[in-house]
Amino acid sequence: MSKHHGGKILADRLASHGVKRVFSVPGESFLAALDGLYDHDIQNVVCRQEGGAAMMADAYGKMTGEPGVLFVTRGPGATNASAGLHIAMHDATPLVCFVGQVPLKHRDRDVFQEVNYRDVFGSLVKWVAEVERTDRLAEYVDRAFAIARSGRPGPVVIALPEDVLSADASAPAAPVIGAKPESSLSDAHLDRIAETLRKADRPMIIAGGSLWSAEAAEQAAALAKRTGAPIAVTFRRQDYVDNNHPNYAGDLGVGMNPKLGARLSQADVILLLGAELNDITTKDFTLLDPATAPEIIQIAPDPGMPNKVYPTALSLVCDPRDAVPLLLERLPEEPDSDRGAIAARADYEAWQTPQETPGAVKLEAVICWLRDNAGPNTIITNGAGNYAAFLHRYHRFRQHGTQLAPTSGSMGYGLPAAVSAKLQHPDRTVVCLAGDGCLQMTMQELSTARQYGADIILIVANNGRYGTIRMHQEREYPGRVSGTELFNPDWAALAGAYGGTGHTVTETGQFAEAFEAARTGGLHIIELRLDPQMLSTTASL
Spatial contact of 99 and 158, defined as CB atoms under 8 Å apart: yes
**Residue 173's pLDDT band (cuts 50, 70, 90):** confident
- The mean pLDDT value for 439-443 works out to 94
Q: Are 202 and 323 in the same domain?
A: yes
Name the more confident of 499 and 171. 499
Average pLDDT in the 492-514 region? 97
Please say which residue of 326, 350, 374 terminates a domain: 350
Give yes or no: residues 315 and 193 share one domain. Answer: yes
User: Is 517 part of any domain?
Assistant: yes
pLDDT of 306 strictly over 70:
no
User: Domain check: are 161 and 235 in the same one?
Assistant: no
State the CATH number of the domain containing residue 290.
Answer: 3.40.50.1220
Q: Which domain holds residue 283?
A: 187-350
The reply to whether 370 and 508 lie within a common domain is yes
Q: What is the average per-residue pLDDT within 1-26?
A: 92
- Reference 217, options 193, 245, 197; nearest CA is 245
The DSSP annotation for 43-106 comes to EEEE-SSHHHHHHHHHHHHHHHSSPEEEEE-STHHHHHHHHHHHHHHHHT--EEEEEEE--GGG
Do the Cβ atoms of 455 and 498 come closer than 8 Å?
Answer: no
- Looking at residue 178, what is its pLDDT? 59
Q: Is 406 in the same domain as 342?
A: no
What is the band of 215 on the pLDDT scale with cuts at 50, 70, 90? very high
Distance CA(153)–CA(164), nearest Å, equals 28
List the beta bridge partners of residue 298: 272, 315
Residues 216, 139, single domain; the answer is: no
**Cα–Cα–Cα angle for 234, 235, 241, rounded to 5 degrees:** 50
Q: Examine residue 198 and state whether it is found in any structural domain, yes or no.
A: yes
Instruction: Answer yes or no: do 32 and 151 share one domain.
Output: yes
Is the confidence at residue 180, as pLDDT, over 80? no
519 pLDDT more than 80: yes
Orientation of helix 187-199 relative to helix 320-328, angle to 10°: 70
pLDDT at 179 over 60: no
Do 313 and 360 lie in one domain? The reply is: no
Q: Mean pLDDT in the chain?
A: 92
End-to-end CA distance of the chain: 71
Structural domain count, the chain: 3
Residues 147 and 66 in one domain: yes
Is 83 within the bounds of a domain?
A: yes
The C-alpha atoms of residue 487 and residue 362 are separated, in whole angstroms, by 22
The domain boundary, picked from 169, 197, 230, lies at 169
Three-class SS state of 291? coil
484 vs 324, residue with greater confidence? 324
Higher-confidence residue of 303 and 33: namely: 33
**From its phi and psi, is residue 110 left (phi > 0), alpha (psi between -120 and 50) or beta?**
left
Give the end of a domain, one of 350, 382, 405: 350
The pLDDT of residue 183 is 66
Same domain, 79 and 56: yes
Q: Residues of 279-295 as b/e, b for ≥16 C-beta within 10 angstroms? A: ebbbbeeebbeeeebbb
- Considering the domain architecture, whether residues 359 and 504 belong to the same structural domain is answered as yes
pTM for this entry: 0.91
177 within a domain of the structure (yes/no): no
Residues 338 and 447 in one domain: no
pLDDT tens string 221-251: 999 999 999 999 999 999 999 999 999 999 9
Instruction: Work out the average pLDDT over 303-317.
Output: 82
Q: What is the DSSP string of 200-261?
A: -SSEEEEE-SS---HHHHHHHHHHHHHHT--EEEETT-GGGS-TTSTTEEEEESTT--HHHH
Measured CA to CA, the distance from residue 335 to residue 198 in angstroms comes to 8
Dist CA 332 CA 419 (whole Å) = 44
CATH of the domain at 68: 3.40.50.970
Which tens digit of pLDDT belongs to each residue from 47-71? 999 999 999 999 999 999 999 999 9
Kindly state the DSSP code that residue 443 receives in the 8-state scheme.
G
